[in-house]
């Protein structure tokens, strides 16, 4: 049974919590790491590149940051990433599986390499990182896992077969883990960003026709920004979401409502 919230306790506070965010050096992952830090969490920052800029921003918010360099295209670094976070920051309460890649080509021409590269980072490593973190969280009887899904967790997309497979798979894995761990104090949920302005979508925004089509379909009338995800991430990382399990929360300016 979940303990009753003290009436003075802010259910959105992450003070005293440790988060691990993958893909934290730029884009959505950087904004999520900063939102968690602003809410009080210390943050381990994982990317294959260096996350020093994010670390400086986390520290400027008065929180601790741990920079971990790891290439999540294989499972090799997973155990170390989790162990280093625990050793460096004293625990692991929140995992955000945000690292992701995309490859674009017609289905008729799509290569095995483009299939494997995307599936390995977006789905395989995300699952095994959740498993490694989940072992600790289940043992502690407490934890929050947030997977970064996509509109292509709900829709087919076009010219991105492995991306669609990975993000649809990640939605399924989010529900599966929620089913197994909800009763053990671990919440597993996902955020499905809509069309957000980052490196991941630079190609789409540079294509005038596609850009116009996409904008015309977004009820909010604009591309999302990385900061638009902060509130959803803090909600799913904190006690406010203790009874939310296996949800895939769209943050999409209304795209799916159309
Ligand atoms: P981005 O700007 O391209 O950033 C991708 C992040 O993933 C980087 O931090 C990158 O770090 C990390 N990453 C990629 N491959 C990695 C690897 N092998 N090992 C470790 N880290 C790796 O993309 P974004 O737009 O912020 O996307 C973040 C997540 O949101 C992705 O899962 C993406 O699919 C999802 N998403 C984005 C949108 C959108 O509109 N932008 C919409 C829906 C979902 P390094 O390059 O340093 O490794």
Which residue among 200, 202, 226, 229 has the greatest number of ligand 1 atoms within 8 angstroms of its CB, and so is best to mutate? 200
Three-state SS sequence of 210-245: HHHHHHHHCCCCCCECHHHHHHHHHHHHCHHHCCCC
Q: Which residues are bridge partners to 248 per DSSP?
A: 190
Task: Determine the 3-state secondary structure of 192 from DSSP.
Answer: strand
Average pLDDT, the chain: 96
Any ligand 1 atom below 6 A from CB of 120: no
Known catalytic residues are 163
Burial class (CB in 10 A: 0-12, 13-18, 19+), 233: buried
CA distance 145 to 134: 8
CA distance 135 to 144: 12
Q: Check residue 5 and give its pLDDT.
A: 58
Task: Determine the 3-state secondary structure of 146 from DSSP.
Answer: strand
Strand order, beta sheet including 42-47: 65-69, 42-47, 18-22, 94-97, 143-148, 186-193, 248-251
Q: In this model, does residue 247 exceed pLDDT 80?
A: yes
Secondary structure percentages of the chain, helix, strand, coil, to 5? 50, 15, 35
| Tokens standing for residue 29 | 């992952």
* Of the candidates 2, 43, 7, 5, the residue with the CA atom closest to the CA atom of residue 22: 43
- Give tens-digit pLDDT for 150-187: 999 999 999 999 999 999 999 999 999 999 999 999 99
- Give tens-digit pLDDT for 63-122: 999 999 999 999 999 999 999 999 999 999 999 999 999 999 999 999 999 999 999 999
Distance 4 CA to ligand 1 centre (A): 37
Distance 247 CA to ligand 1 centre (A): 21
Any ligand 1 atom below 6 A from CB of 187: no
Distance 69 CA to ligand 1 centre (A): 14
Any ligand 1 atom below 6 A from CB of 27: yes
Distance 258 CA to ligand 1 centre (A): 26
CA distance 212 to 208: 6
Any ligand 1 atom below 6 A from CB of 161: no
Question: Which pTM was predicted?
Answer: 0.97
Domains of the chain: 18-249 (3.40.50.720)
């Amino acid at each position: 049974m979940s303990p009753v919230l003290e009436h003075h306790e802010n259910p959105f506070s992450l003070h005293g919590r440790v988060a691990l965010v993958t893909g934290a050096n730029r884009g959505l992952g950087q904004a999520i790491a900063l939102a968690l830090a602003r809410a009080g969490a210390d943050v381990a920052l994982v990317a294959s590149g260096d996350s020093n800029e994010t670390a400086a921003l986390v520290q400027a918010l008065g929180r601790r940051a741990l920079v971990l360099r790891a290439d999540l295209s294989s499972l090799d670094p997973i155990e170390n990433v989790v162990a280093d976070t625990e050793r460096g920051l004293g625990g692991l309460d929140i995992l955000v599986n945000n690292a992701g890649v995309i490859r674009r080509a017609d289905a008729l021409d799509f290569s095995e390499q483009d299939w494997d590269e995307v599936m390995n980072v977006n789905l395989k490593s995300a699952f095994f990182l959740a498993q490694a973190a989940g072992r600790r969280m289940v043992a502690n009887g407490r934890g929050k896992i947030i997977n970064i899904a996509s509109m292509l967790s709900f829709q087919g997309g076009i010219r991105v077969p492995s991306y669609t497979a990975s993000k649809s798979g990640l939605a399924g894995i989010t529900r599966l883990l929620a089913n197994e761990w909800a009763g053990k104090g671990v919440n597993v949920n996902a955020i499905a960003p809509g069309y957000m302005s980052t490196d991941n979508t630079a190609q789409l925004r540079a294509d005038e026709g596609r850009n116009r089509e996409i904008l015309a379909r977004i009820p909010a009338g604009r591309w999302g920004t990385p900061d638009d995800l902060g509130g959803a991430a803090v909600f799913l990382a904190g006690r406010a979401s203790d009874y939310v399990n296996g949800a895939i929360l769209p943050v999409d300016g209304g795209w799916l409502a159309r």
